Each structure stands twice: as structure tokens, then as C-alpha cells.
Amino acid sequence: MFTTFPRTGATVSRLGYGGAAIGLTNYLEAYDAQARRAVSVATVRQAADAGVTYFDTAPGYGNGLSEEIFGEALEGRAGITIATKVKAEPGIDVRASLEASLARLRRPRIDLLQIHGTSIDAETCRAILAQGGMAAQMRALRDEGLVAAIGFTSEDNNAAVYDLIAHGGFDSMQIAYNLLLQHPYEPTRPFGSLFAAKAQGMFTVTMRTITSSIFQRWVRMANPADDFDYTGALIQFVLSNKLIDVALVGMRTASDVDSSVREWRDTGKRIDVEALWGRYVTP
């Protein structure tokens, strides 16, 4: 149920709290993030009380709202790993972005600072890795002690992702992976960015763990009478992958926390992911 972050030695829960869902208005469904702030603070605290120790956010989640909620909810708590991000854009002042995040999170340092890349193209990747680029600035902040570890995030599995992994300077990768988006993990070859990241000794985190409701919408289209809640099975699918350290789940309510934590703790529901891909019966 727990794993270790190699760079920091911190023990972290394999279930992570994804902060986008509580920071963004109308994300995936009608939702007023600012009006629900007090509920979100209580929900984050409930997750921490239940044993969740990994919390992921970004300045872009509601113009800092998600970070502010985490800051209020987790202030003074020990044993918590907080990951935030800095936007992958030309000329950004990484230090200034970090200092603003530190203020909102009410922390003297960040456990993990990540490049926030929905999609990182070849040109952006070259700029990140260039002399004096974002990677160098982030390493300097790590050396200074303002951040404990550095990483990057991407929803792609393109060449830039592999270049960032091969660079060897990042401690973690956050990637989109779930029942529908399996591009980072092809076990029959094997091939994929999860294999490459683990070969570099990187800490791995998944976003869109429960498919951002896409799978559920497809089921309703294919079979409108289906009333099964697939959320738990989707969480179990991702947590069953041994190459994944932390699976992020957005939790907006007490019920969300209860159900997600229940699945995280129920290791008996894990499956053999490699066997799932088997094509021949062993006699």
C-alpha cells in the first residue's frame, strides 16, 4: 500500500490525491471550485487522516486555488509529500513560480517540483534541457534545498518524454495511464515510457487513473442499462501495475475519499496485469 520515493527516502501512499478536481471550475462536470472551498479543505484533511500521504497540485489548477486548499488543509502535518508544478513555457521564472507556490502551500520547501506539460513538443523539450533552461534551474533549486526532488509530467508518450527520461536529471515522471490510455505500458514487447522511466530509477505517478470518466461515459453509450460503478475496478487496474508507484485520484467529497481509500487498501482485488495480456493457455 506504500512505497518509497528514491530521491527523498519518504514513504508515500500508492494512492495519491489529485488536486485538479478541487481547483478547476467545471472540470469534467459542472462544479464551482471556489464555492466548494471549505468542503474541499475538509475532504483533503479526511484523506490525510485516512493515510493518504501523497498530494499533487499545480498553480494552474484554479489560478492557485488548489495549492491554497492544500496549504490550508495540510499545514503543520508531518509525513506528507506535496508535489506541485511549474508551467512549461518559454522564459518562465522557475524560482518566482516556486516561491508563489510555497506561499500558497504554506511550506518552507516543496517535496517535488515538476514541469507541467500537458504535451511537451520537441522544441520545448530542447529548451527545457538547454544550458540554463528549466531543468538546470530546477536542479539549482534542488541543490539549494527549496525542493527535494524534480520531475516532469506529460499526457503524451512521444519522443520528448523519452528524451526527458534519458536526460537522467529528473527524479520522477507523471504520465497519463489507465484502462483506456495504455500507451506507456506495452508488456508483450515490452515497450513504453513506464519501462524507460523505471530503467532510470525514476519515481512514477499516473494521472487520469479513473479515465476522467471517459470509460464510464462509453459504457453508458454502449449499454444504457448498465448501473455498475466501475471506479473501484479502474483504480485497482492501475494499482495492479508494478511499474507504478502512485496512482492519482481526484476526490471532491467524503464519499470519494471513502471509496478510493477502500480500494487502495483492498489489495486482494489486485490483478496480474501481465497475465491479462496472455494469449495462450499454459498446459
pLDDT 10s digits, 38-50: 999 999 999 999 9
Specify the pLDDT at position 90. 83
Specify the pLDDT at position 125. 97
Separation of alpha carbons 235 and 247, rounded Å: 8
Nearest to 174 by CA among 135, 127, 118, 121: 118
pTM reported for the whole predicted model: 0.96
Specify the pLDDT at position 176. 97
pLDDT along the chain (283 residues), means of 10: 96 98 95 97 98 98 98 97 95 96 97 95 96 97 98 96 97 98 93 97 98 95 96 98 98 97 98 89 75
Domain 2-276 has CATH 3.20.20.10: no
Specify the pLDDT at position 278. 87
Specify the pLDDT at position 91. 87
Specify the pLDDT at position 282. 73
Nearest to 154 by CA among 90, 205, 89: 205
Specify the pLDDT at position 249. 98
Q: Which long-range contacts (C-beta less than 8 Å, at least 24 apart) are formed by 275-283?
A: 277/187, 277/188
pLDDT 10s digits, 155-195: 999 999 999 999 999 999 999 999 999 999 999 999 999 99
Angle, helices 65-74/94-105, rounded to nearest 10 degrees = 50
Burial 130-154 (b: 16+ CB within 10 A, else e): eeebbbebbeebbeeebbbbbbbbb
Separation of alpha carbons 52 and 46, rounded Å: 9
